[in-house]
Amino acid sequence: MQNNVLILDFGSQYTQLIARRVRELNIFCEIKPYNKVPQDMSVYKAVILSGSPYSVRAEDAPHPDLSQIKGKIPLLGVCYGAQYLAHFHGGKVAPSNTREYGRARLASIKNDEPFFYEITDGSQVWMSHSDTIKELPKNAVVLASTGDVKNAAYRIDGEQTYAIQFHPEVYHTTQGKLILENFLVHIAGIEQSWTPDAFVDTTVAGLKKTVGNDKVILGLSGGVDSTVAAVLLHKAIGNHLHCIFVNNGLLRKNEFQDVLDQYEHMGLNVKGVDASARFLDALAGESDPEKKRKIIGKVFIDVFNDEAHMVEDAKWLAQGTIYPDVIESVSVTGGPSATIKSHHNVGGLPDYMKLKVVEPLKMLFKDEVRRVGASMKIDDERLGRHPFPGPGLAIRILGDITREKVAILQEVDSIFINGLREWGLYDQVWQAGAMLLPVHSVGVMGDERTYEKCVALRAVESTDGMTADWVDLPYEFLQKTSNEIINKVPGVNRVVYDISSKPPATIEWE
């Protein structure tokens, strides 16, 4: 990639938002842990320091080596980053006497500075810190203040080093994107050339160079990520790509055949493998969510190992891993961030499987994957398909997995998803599904008392899955769907709707 921006992550909950805002400017960026600064900085045109849950005054505060960056490459410190640049370069950071969290208004803006070009006095910003910069380094110039924060923005004389105590990446900073554009485009001089078409050209060229004439096996799921990955690889290596769609017994109703039918006319070399009994037998009696994911991952690898032996001289396993998978599975900071859950398609392969891994989408967010797919003329219906978890219904059945439970949830899910389509709601929802809960509740049907299962419906809106909010579906739709599920799915007598957001909840229940 050319015109890269490096974001050094200190563990802030907003770091991924910085990356998204930069990419919205058609500028490529990547996140690295603060303690793993790349030795070769020549590929980076600018660096951004993120916020952090830490105080710069703490003994264990994140302390990166900026010797190859500060004063040499355009640098922007955000929140903790701004305090870091002050505290360790002659300024003073102290606990704040006033609450500095939430909305604030910029004042005394130096509009003649390129950093605040076209930013207006009174512009709303979002503060989120308990410390404040009391004194700036001697060679620093204040660029803006707020009612409570004198040094809300500053720069260092003789350097292209800027710092702000607010968060330009969040929605509540109304001109935040323009501030980032001013820094990256007008100060750092970065071209806004990272587009879906450019990504396709660069990635295809990279795949040709990396893979060459080797054969690649790709696990198709029917979802957006694996489909886009397959088309990218097909552009690069043609029929050297061998796609395999595995039925793990945990797919949606009729999905195995439906997906195979969809790919029939795409020109891809696709083989369907029904390994449902193998997965379900391995899962029998296991109710721990992480162990279920690990079992599915292991069986998935075993199945691919068997299939790989049928493809002579296969050298690579391709996966549709995307950026949120990587971020949620591995602490990007090497410390402050927590691992939320493991993803079945993230990580290395066992030693016995002699395949190297290729992940053409691992630096993209979900909405970026869709835009790349659209640039390659993949049809809207396939690109608009809701995300579906790799472990399938296994993580939507809380508790142990049985064939009976899978069959019940498939029927419930089918009613819910088809209903969303019939009511014109499907495209208004980012992801939807049903969960089978490990509880029974008392009900009554006719004159008979029932003691049957409860299901939860979940529908969320999001852009990349990093954050999500529940969708306010029409009561009439929920009423009709609930009635249809209870009347048509034996064993279910209660339906609830999940109205929790991410965070604090996750999109899936396991």
Burial 412-442 (b: 16+ CB within 10 A, else e): bbbbbbebbeeeebbeebbbbbbbbbeeeee
Q: In the predicted model, is pLDDT for residue 3 greater than 60? A: yes
pLDDT value of position 474 = 97
Q: How far is CA 175 from the centre of its chain?
A: 24
Of residues 169, 328, 359, 411, which has the active-site annotation? 169
Average pLDDT over residues 88-115: 85
Going by the DSSP 8-state scheme, the letter that residue 119 receives in this structure is: P
Going by the DSSP 8-state scheme, the letter that residue 501 receives in this structure is: -
pLDDT above 90 covers what percent of the chain? 61
Spell out the alpha helix ranges (H) of 238-365: 255-263, 276-283, 289-310, 323-329
pLDDT value of position 335 = 39
Please report which confidence band the pLDDT of residue 408 belongs to, taking 50, 70 and 90 as the band edges: very high
Quick one: 177 exposed, middle or buried, by C-beta within 10 A (0-12, 13-18, 19+)?
Answer: middle
Q: How far apart are CA 422 and CA 415, in angstroms?
A: 10
Please report which confidence band the pLDDT of residue 341 belongs to, taking 50, 70 and 90 as the band edges: very low
Q: How far apart are CA 353 and CA 182, in angstroms?
A: 49
Going by the DSSP 8-state scheme, the letter that residue 349 receives in this structure is: P
Please report which confidence band the pLDDT of residue 330 belongs to, taking 50, 70 and 90 as the band edges: very low
Strand ranges (DSSP E) for 221-287? 241-247, 270-274
- Per-residue tokens: 470: 């529940």
Of residues 87, 129, 167, 343, which has the active-site annotation? 167
Q: How far apart are CA 4 and CA 129, in angstroms?
A: 28
Span 132-164, pLDDT tens digits: 899 999 899 999 999 888 999 999 999 999 999
Minimum mean pLDDT among 155-164, 396-405, 412-421, 499-508: which range? 499-508
Helix (H) or strand (E) holding 452: strand 448-461
Average pLDDT over residues 496-507: 92
pLDDT value of position 161 = 96
Q: In the predicted model, is pLDDT for residue 331 greater than 50? A: no
Average pLDDT over residues 12-23: 89
Q: How far is CA 222 from the centre of its chain?
A: 19
Mean pLDDT of the chain: 88
Average pLDDT over residues 328-342: 42
Span 188-208, pLDDT tens digits: 999 999 999 999 999 999 999
pLDDT value of position 178 = 96
Tell me whether strands 241-247 and 270-274 are parallel, antiparallel or unpaired: parallel
Q: Which long-range contacts (CB under 8 A, 24 or more apart) does 371-380 make?
A: 371/196, 372/196, 372/199, 372/200, 372/228, 372/232, 373/224, 373/227, 373/228, 373/231, 374/196, 375/195, 375/196, 375/197, 375/199, 375/200, 376/200, 376/228, 376/231, 376/232, 376/235, 378/227, 378/228, 378/231
Of residues 29, 79, 87, 100, which has the active-site annotation? 79
Asked about 29 being catalytic, the answer comes back as no
Query: Which of 120, 111, 114, 106 shows the shortest CA–CA distance to 160?
Result: 114
Q: In the predicted model, is pLDDT for residue 315 greater than 70? A: yes
- Per-residue tokens: 147: 């009612």
Question: Under a CB-based contact definition with an 8 Å cutoff, are residues 409 and 396 in contact?
Answer: yes
pLDDT value of position 352 = 59
Q: In the predicted model, is pLDDT for residue 1 greater than 90? A: no
Span 245-292, pLDDT tens digits: 999 999 999 999 988 888 877 888 899 999 999 999 999 999 999 999
> Bridge-partner residues for 32, per DSSP?
8
- Per-residue tokens: 320: 């549709």
Asked about 169 being catalytic, the answer comes back as yes
Average pLDDT over residues 71-98: 90
Span 456-482, pLDDT tens digits: 999 999 877 777 899 999 999 999 999
Q: In the predicted model, is pLDDT for residue 340 greater than 60? A: no
Give, in order, the Cα–Cα distances in Å from 89 to each of 138, 273, 318: 9, 61, 46
- Block residue for tokens 């994911």: 293
pLDDT value of position 476 = 97
Among 3-12, 14-23, 142-151, 482-491, the range of highest mean pLDDT: 482-491
Q: How far apart are CA 229 and CA 327, in angstroms?
A: 19
- Per-residue tokens: 195: 């587009």
- pTM for the predicted model, two decimal places: 0.75
- Per-residue tokens: 364: 């993209």
- Provide the residue count of the chain: 510
Q: In the predicted model, is pLDDT for residue 295 greater than 90? A: yes
pLDDT above 70 covers what percent of the chain? 93
Please report which confidence band the pLDDT of residue 446 belongs to, taking 50, 70 and 90 as the band edges: low
Q: How far is CA 411 from the centre of its chain?
A: 29
Other CB atoms within 10 A of residue 60 CB: 9
